[in-house]
Amino acid sequence: MSTCGVAEGRSAVGRPADVLVEYAHAAAEHGRAAAATGEVSAQIPELSRVDPDRFGLAVALLDGTEIQVGDAARPFSLQSVTKLFALCALLRDEPTAWEHVGWDSSGAGYGSVSELETHAGRPRNPFVNAGALVVTDRLLHHTGDAAGAVTDLLRDLGGEHVQRDRQVALSEAAHDHRNRAIAHVLAEHGRLLHGVDTVLAQYFEQCSITASALAVARAALLLADRTGARGPLDAGVVRRVNAVLLTAGMYGAAGDIAYRVGLPAKSGIGGGVVAVLPGVGSICVWSPRLDRTGNSTGAVAAIEEFARLAGWSVF
């Protein structure tokens, strides 16, 4: 069953909202068909309990238009989608944080230990786990509660129904040798302000945030607004976050996504992907089955189709 709700107005690319609603439904059909090929993440046992056939798509435009298809209002586990909002919260409090987290692309998976080793324990960017752990650590330093700061930012920007799922956080903590290894390499190189256990506990809490595709699409408008007026970051910082999202937000698949979709985008192993068209709006799709790079097959296919139909591209 699909539902949609549309506010009045035209998008900034001049297309009437009802045409975008058609595109959203067509994109969702395309995404649902592509989702058949993926697998739900087994990395966090609690996440594998999700219904793999869930599918939600939400579009939010700067002019106030909102489009919802399917499970767009149903909360899902954001996982690495939170890394985007954690970075925004940190840059609000520490505009020079880039020097600690890096801004280069990464050819490796999000959980690579060897890449961190190769670069003297310096993360490549804030979206691989090494960089995200540094973001969480520094945000903890500035706020006293990194997971709380990310939750609050998402609530402020995205609206209601932003929660944390304790079972998912505990499940990840009980099974995560890899992030522990990364945190120890960071600590060995003097890149963490807090102890490994403290940083990991905050990071797992942050990753366990749940929100709907609609809330995430709304929240991502802070990156769509070129003036920086929607969130805590000024226009120059917003441009940089979008640049690094384009080159690193989808991990090893970032180049593929830039080629196929042409939008800055961030994924999570809960099956969510959010993409931004600066000056226009954002789209978030949730579909739990993932490809080998840990990106949702259905969400990527739906966003690719929506971008093609609507002419959304930064190029």
Tell me which residues touch ligand GLN (CB under 6 A). Answer: 79-80, 110-111, 129, 172, 179, 207, 268-269, 294
Q: How far is the CB of 168 from ligand GLN (least distance, A)?
A: 9
DSSP state of 189: T
Sequence-distant (6+) residues with CB within 8 A of 163 are 75, 151, 209, 210, 211
Q: How far is the CB of 179 from ligand GLN (least distance, A)?
A: 5
- Residue 217 tokens read as 């699409």
The whole-angstrom separation of Cα 184 and Cα 129 is 13
Q: How far is the CB of 88 from ligand GLN (least distance, A)?
A: 17
Residue number with CB closer to ligand GLN (110 or 306): 110
Residue number with CB closer to ligand GLN (208 or 212): 208
Q: How far is the CB of 240 from ligand GLN (least distance, A)?
A: 21
Strands (E), 43-123: 56-61, 66-70, 76-77
CB half-sphere exposure, 252, CA atoms < 13 A:
11
Residue number with CB closer to ligand GLN (80 or 247): 80
Residue number with CB closer to ligand GLN (270 or 281): 270
The whole-angstrom separation of Cα 213 and Cα 272 is 8
Residue number with CB closer to ligand GLN (33 or 42): 42
Which residue's beta carbon is nearest to the bound ligand GLN?
80
The whole-angstrom separation of Cα 280 and Cα 268 is 23
Q: How far is the CB of 279 from ligand GLN (least distance, A)?
A: 28
Strand, helix or coil for residue 34: helix
